[in-house]
Amino acid sequence: MEVHLGHNALRTLPEDLSALQRLRLLELNKNYLGAWPRGLCALKLNMLDLGSNELRDLPAELGLMTTLRSLRLEGNPIRAIRQNFILGKEGAVISFSWGFTFRVQHINNIPLYKHNNPGPVSGLLESLRARLPDPEAHEAEMVVASYSRIAAAKRAQDAAAAAAAAAEDGPHHHTEGMGRTVSNADQRPVEVVVKSGNLSKVPADVAFLANCLVKLDLSSNKLTALEESMLTRASALKVLMLPDNKLAQWPLPGAEAAGCLPGLWHCNLARNPIASIPQDAFVSCVHLRVLDLSGVTAVAQPEALRGIGALQHLSELFLVRCALQEFPMELLQLPVLSMCNLSSNQIVQVEWCFGGGIHAYGHTNTHACTHNPHTVAWGAWSYEVLDVA
């Protein structure tokens, strides 16, 4: 389908044109258009003629029109196109035409530029797409907004419950009743997943939902710390995913909140610049079964894992790229550990822990020490997989 509306006096375009999904050629040459509607960027045009209008910019969404093969823009006061898409002199603007050919129109009746180029349109579209917001970050913003609605509903529920409790207590206990909140048993479980959202701190509404959380996944953000009391209130939390952030301090509660995360079984803190691991690092989550500290170089500090013996239920441990130079002997305190990944460290000798008939660690099914220099393994263990490549 083709539509020719050139040489008219159009100043705007109706977004209803986006319904013409069979439209392939749209000519709007020599009108008075001041903008290209974002809603029309969903069209699947092959040729778009916007020459000799009053366009000063192009919407970034136009870059999503990947079907476009010809785009005419000459005669517009456009200022927002990258310099490498502007050719000729005196601000002449590229005119794209069929056959991947572009020409700059005449200035003072002198042809300035004419050349074949394999992809000027695609280059311009790519430049426009680069101006679009990060889709993952935008999605994260939408997700955070949804948790805000959940938090608002919970606040209303808490207020209603407090009001009901105050009414039951009678007028003499009204103040005390208003201080009550809904118990955990009455809360609906909430899973919070906000990945790649450029979050520098936990949203207040997410922190407010702490006592309802069963899963908190804030992977690949820019978190530098967690609210101090947030995890101490997250007694129902089962999965905590915080890899690829900027956490400088150990995020799990210490001895002052021992046992506050009784249901936490999976914790991922990989690739955070954590400065040190405290001795009471794991007393809040003694039932942990899966722990990933890959890329946390603090693990290589002397006695960094001295508190890991508290995790008597730990079955999977990941310590990849932690700059370890020695096998962490603290791991011998873990009676049910069935998978331990120590790949890509600097371990050069492990014969002491592999030899000598050490029964405390002899149950291990999988132990990976790949990409360590000159790793040596002695002794016969009940391994299903022993990789010391």
The token pair that represents 312 in the structure block: 């008597």
- What pLDDT sits at residue 298? 95
- Select the more confidently predicted residue: 96 or 80: 80
Please write down the HEC assignment for all residues of the chain: CEEECCCCCCCCCCHHHHHCCCCCEEECCCCCCCCCCHHHHHCCCCEEECCCCCCCCCCHHHHHCCCCCEEECCCCCCCCCCHHHCCCCCCCCCEEECCCEEEECCECCECCEEEECCCHHHHHHHHHHCCCCCHHHHHHHHHHHHHHHHHHHHHHHHHHHHHHHHHHHCHHHHHHHHCCCCCHHHCCCEEEECCCCCCCCCCHHHHHCHHHEEEEECCCCCCCCCCCCCHHHCCCCCEEECCCCCCCCCCCCCHHHCCCCCCCCEEECCCCCCCCCCCCCCCCCCCCCEEECCCCHHHHCCCCCCCHHHCCCCCEEECCCCCCCCCCHHHHHCCCCCEEECCCCCCCCCHHHHCCCCHHHCCCCEEECCCCCCCCCCCCCCCCEEECC
Q: For 2-129, give the CATH class.
A: alpha beta
- What pLDDT sits at residue 294? 96
- What pLDDT sits at residue 368? 61
Q: Which one-letter amino acid corresponds to residue 303?
A: E
- What pLDDT sits at residue 273? 96
What pTM did the predictor assign?
A: 0.56
* Most confident residue range from 111-120, 163-172, 296-305: 296-305
- Select the more confidently predicted residue: 134 or 221: 221
d(CA 300, CA 293): 11
Who contacts 317 (Cβ-Cβ below 8 Å, separation ≥6)? 291, 292, 293, 331, 334, 337, 339, 340, 341
| Angle 269-274-279 from CA coordinates, rounded to 5° | 90
Task: Tell me the average pLDDT across 171-195.
Answer: 52
**Burial annotation 111-144 (CB, 10 A radius, 16+ → b, else e):** eeeeeeeeebbeebbebbeeeeeeeeeeebbebb
d(CA 181, CA 143): 26
- Cβ atoms of 127 and 85 within 8 Å: the answer is yes
Q: Which of 42-46, 102-106, 289-293 has the lowest mean pLDDT?
A: 102-106
Q: Which of 32-36, 127-131, 211-215 has the lowest mean pLDDT?
A: 127-131
- Cβ atoms of 328 and 319 within 8 Å: the answer is yes
What is the CA 370 to chain-centroid distance, rounded?
A: 29
| % residues pLDDT > 70 (the chain) | 66
- Select the more confidently predicted residue: 322 or 170: 322
Q: pLDDT averaged over the chain?
A: 75
pLDDT above 90 for 80? no
Q: What are phi and psi of 222, to 5 degrees?
A: -130, 35
Task: Tell me the average pLDDT across 360-364.
Answer: 42
* Most confident residue range from 59-68, 146-155, 189-198, 376-385: 59-68
d(CA 387, CA 342): 10
- Select the more confidently predicted residue: 31 or 145: 31
- β 70-72/290-292 pair status: unpaired
- Select the more confidently predicted residue: 46 or 107: 46
- What pLDDT sits at residue 360? 38
- What pLDDT sits at residue 350? 67
* Numbered ranges of CATH 3.80.10.10 in the chain: 188-323
What's the pLDDT tens digit per position in 23-48? 999 999 999 999 999 888 888 999 99
Who contacts 145 (Cβ-Cβ below 8 Å, separation ≥6)? none
Who contacts 183 (Cβ-Cβ below 8 Å, separation ≥6)? none
- Cβ atoms of 73 and 50 within 8 Å: the answer is yes
First to last CA, the chain: 62
Task: Tell me the average pLDDT across 244-258.
Answer: 94
Whether CATH 2.40.10.220 fits 188-323: no
